[in-house]
């Protein structure tokens, strides 16, 4: 268990690292950030940082010597980096969560082996494999690179009659996974926390709307039956247990079926705090960032109760120019990441709006979930 005053090392210096560092400071903890980008927003709020590539082992050695625990804000931390650090200092979450979630095929296989539903899928290593996958799954289907995909990058939808050779080339002829196209009703996610001893808490299920493959709004409560919400939380718990997970993670899900047939199926696991959990900063008793710090410190998890109806809207690119009007809006909680250039598609900040009617808090997760 960490003592107040301990130092949390964070790999990655983006807005997620920044908000973890801010939450750590609230709890009397210090942070040390390692990130190759000299303009990292997390550097602004942390006493210590090292600007170095993730494979600079001399820098990693110095970093490890200055921290009590290491965590990460993104899932593409090189495994060699994770293992080097884990040999020197506790790494939370551990390297297993990284190894599985870095590879979409390993991730989907892991989820399926837990008896949890995913889109039907097939491994694709060459054009013949793609043809075999299409014969098995049919079209439309989604072809995704196994590694380094995010925000819709590294994937193409293949529609009926489309040329498979073109799709294979469009993806850069790299190892891929073919997924059956899921005609989902909605997209939702569960953000949950687990400690090493198995203690577990999940925030309310969040409904997510994407624009151009980037999260635009998260709304809580999600439009979801109580049964499907329970299913979502128990899926998160099973995944957390199977990964021996420590910290906060998110499970992105598709809602399929209607009425009594409504259920969720897993799309993706993020082994980190997640954009769809930002609403918790102002809309729940404990924020996902504080919860992550508590979990990796071995401290009691915080209460996850929601305090009203909540909507989180991302400020993408030029949206951030509205900052002044948003600040003037009664009750809007504005979070800005301190990034200089409002490039198209860049996450610059977010706004959380909470409607505190007591009715809205009725579907708080059952104790202990």
Annotated binding site for ATP: 104, 144, 149-155, 179-182, 187, 210, 267-268
Stretch that binds ligand AMP, among 58-66, 160-168, 181-189, 342-350 (CB under 6 A): 181-189
Interface pick for ligand AMP out of 57, 181, 299, 323 (rule CB under 6 A): 181
Separation of alpha carbons 189 and 48, rounded Å: 33
Separation of alpha carbons 189 and 322, rounded Å: 28
Interface pick for ligand AMP out of 103, 107, 187, 262 (rule CB under 6 A): 187
Work out the angle between the directed axes of helices 288-297 and 15-26 (0-180°, nearest 10). 70
Stretch that binds ligand AMP, among 89-97, 179-187, 255-263, 325-333 (CB under 6 A): 179-187
| Dihedral pair phi/psi, residue 136, rounded to 5° | -80, -40
The footprint of ligand AMP on residues 106-165 (CB under 6 A) is 119, 142, 149, 152
| Nearer Cβ to ligand AMP (166/209) | 209
| Nearer Cβ to ligand AMP (77/251) | 251
| Nearer Cβ to ligand AMP (262/268) | 268
Q: Give me the least distance between CB of 202 and ligand AMP, in Å please.
A: 20
Separation of alpha carbons 50 and 35, rounded Å: 7
Q: Which two tokens stand for residue 168?
A: 């294979």
Q: Are 70 and 85 in contact (CB under 8 A)?
A: yes
CA dihedral (149, 150, 154, 155) in degrees, to 10, reads 110
Q: In angstroms, what CA-CA distances link 297 with 160, 219, 305?
A: 50, 29, 21
Q: Does 323 bind ligand AMP (CB under 6 A)?
A: no
Q: Give me the least distance between CB of 180 and ligand AMP, in Å please.
A: 6
Q: Give me the least distance between CB of 120 and ligand AMP, in Å please.
A: 9
Give, as one character, the DSSP assignment of residue 4: T
Task: Name residue, tokens 């109806």.
Answer: 309
| Nearer Cβ to ligand AMP (183/260) | 183
Separation of alpha carbons 42 and 16, rounded Å: 8
| Nearer Cβ to ligand AMP (139/361) | 139
Q: Are 165 and 143 in contact (CB under 8 A)?
A: no
Stretch that binds ligand AMP, among 131-139, 166-174, 175-183, 333-341 (CB under 6 A): 175-183
What is the x/- site pattern for ligand AMP, positions 208-247, by CB under 6 A?
--x--x----------------------------------
Interface pick for ligand AMP out of 75, 268, 282, 290 (rule CB under 6 A): 268
What is the x/- site pattern for ligand AMP, positions 281-310, by CB under 6 A?
------------------------------
Separation of alpha carbons 32 and 25, rounded Å: 11
| Nearer Cβ to ligand AMP (178/304) | 178
Q: Are 348 and 342 in contact (CB under 8 A)?
A: yes
| Nearer Cβ to ligand AMP (152/300) | 152
Q: Give me the least distance between CB of 51 and ligand AMP, in Å please.
A: 29
Q: Does 361 bind ligand AMP (CB under 6 A)?
A: no
* The Cα angle at residue 191 between residues 224 and 181, in degrees rounded to 5: 60
Interface pick for ligand AMP out of 99, 182, 238, 364 (rule CB under 6 A): 182
DSSP 77-144: --HHHHHHHHTTS-BSS-HHHHHHHTSHHHHHHHHHHTT--B--EEEESSHHHHHHHHHHH-SSEEEE
Stretch that binds ligand AMP, among 65-73, 174-182, 325-333, 342-350 (CB under 6 A): 174-182
Separation of alpha carbons 140 and 348, rounded Å: 34
Binding site for ligand AMP (CB under 6 A): 119, 142, 149, 152, 179, 181-182, 187, 210, 213, 252, 267-268
């Amino acid at each position: 268990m960490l003592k107040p005053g301990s130092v949390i090392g964070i790999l990655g210096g983006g807005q997620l690292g920044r908000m973890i560092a801010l939450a750590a400071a609230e709890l009397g903890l210090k942070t040390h950030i390692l990130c190759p980008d000299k303009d990292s927003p997390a550097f602004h709020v942390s006493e210590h940082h090292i600007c170095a590539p993730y494979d600079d082992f001399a820098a990693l050695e110095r970093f490890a010597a200055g921290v009590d625990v290491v965590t990460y804000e993104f899932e593409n931390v090189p495994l060699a980096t994770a293992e080097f650090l884990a040999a020197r200092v506790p790494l939370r979450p551990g390297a297993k969560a990284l190894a599985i979630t870095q590879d979409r095929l390993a991730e989907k296989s892991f989820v399926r082996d837990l008896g949890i539903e995913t889109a039907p899928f097939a491994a694709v290593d060459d054009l013949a494999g793609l043809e075999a996958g299409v014969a098995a799954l049919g079209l439309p289907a989604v072809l995704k690179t196994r590694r380094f995909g995010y925000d819709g990058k590294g994937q193409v939808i293949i529609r009926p009659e489309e040329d498979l050779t073109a799709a294979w080339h469009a993806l850069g002829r790299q190892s891929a996974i073919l997924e059956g196209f899921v005609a989902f009703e909605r997209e939702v996610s569960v953000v949950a926390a687990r400690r090493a001893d198995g203690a577990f808490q999940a925030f309310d299920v969040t409904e997510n709307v994407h624009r151009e493959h980037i999260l635009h709004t998260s709304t809580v409560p999600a439009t979801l039956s109580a049964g499907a919400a329970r299913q979502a939380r128990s899926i998160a718990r099973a995944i957390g247990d199977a990964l021996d997970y420590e910290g906060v993670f998110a499970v992105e899900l598709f809602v399929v079926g209607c009425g009594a047939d409504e259920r969720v199926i897993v799309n993706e696991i993020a082994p980190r705090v997640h954009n769809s959990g930002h609403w918790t900063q102002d809309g729940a008793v404990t924020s996902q960032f504080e919860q992550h710090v508590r979990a990796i410190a071995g401290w009691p998890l915080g209460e996850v109760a929601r305090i009203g109806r909540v909507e989180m809207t991302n400020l993408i690119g030029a949206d951030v120019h509205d900052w002044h009007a948003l600040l003037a809006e009664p009750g809007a909680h504005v979070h800005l990441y301190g990034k200089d250039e409002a490039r198209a598609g860049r996450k610059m900040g977010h706004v959380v709006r909470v409607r505190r009617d007591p009715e809205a808090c009725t579907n708080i997760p059952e104790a202990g979930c």
